[in-house]
Structure 1
């Protein structure tokens, strides 16, 4: 990767972290986090299967 691309990626990452889109969750609502799980392995499996 060239230097400009590396710098741009770092700036985007910093912006997303500042907006709360990356990093540790900043909220504590007590609900389980199903992010990074396949829909079929969550309580939303039936709903997801019905979309097809």
Structure 2
């Protein structure tokens, strides 16, 4: 399990890398992230503005 500060950096890096990706693909990937770690998926979604 990652410490919270590292998890924050990870989700920022993921969201930043996905900014130019079509919304449909972002949503699909968020589902995968949420399956691995619900908090991670929720944070990536929030940082991308995806509900």
TM-score higher than 0.5 here?
Answer: no
Normalised to the residue count of structure 1, the TM-score between the two structures is 0.35
More helix by share: 2
Q: Rg larger in 1 or in 2?
A: 1
Normalised to the residue count of structure 2, the TM-score between the two structures is 0.35
* Bigger relative contact order (CA 8 A; separation at least 6): 2
